[in-house]
Amino acid sequence: MSTVISNIFGVLSQTVSIYSYILILRVLLTWFPNIDWSNPILSSVSSITDPYLNLFRGIIPAIGGLDISPILAFILLNVVESMLLNLQFAVVNSNLINSFA
């Protein structure tokens, strides 16, 4: 059972990591103002990332036209990913300790 839980935490951690890469792509694409966002791939990236980024845009407004809210978004994603990895290793370690007891 603990192996299943460990795998779940691992999958969740990988999912957060993949989402971070998609978020990086979204932030980089905003540097190019002439991009056609009606492209299905780009609109998918936008629809996946914008709800999460909008949470932070409400907290940190743009300063001089520069949106720094993704910084806070990345910090939170890194914290969540670290917590998931720590939980995964904690479950693995407890399983190892229990197997020797």
pLDDT of residue 21: 96
Lowest mean pLDDT among 23-27, 38-42, 66-70: 66-70
Q: Check residue 6 and give its pLDDT.
A: 86
Residue range 81-95, pLDDT digits in tens: 999 999 988 888 876
Q: How many domains does the chain have?
A: 1
| The pLDDT of residue 97 is above 80 | no
- Quick one: pLDDT at residue 100? 66
CB 85 within 8 A of CB 13: yes
Provide the domain limits for residue 33: 2-100
Cα distance between residue 72 and residue 57, in whole Å: 10
Tokens matching residue 81? 């990913």
Q: What are phi and psi of 51, to 5 degrees?
A: -60, -40
Give the confidence band of 30 by pLDDT, cuts at 50, 70, 90: confident
Q: How confident is the model at residue 3 (pLDDT cuts 50, 70, 90)?
A: confident
Residue 96, class by beta-carbon neighbours within 10 Å (0-12 exposed, 13-18 middle, 19+ buried)?
exposed
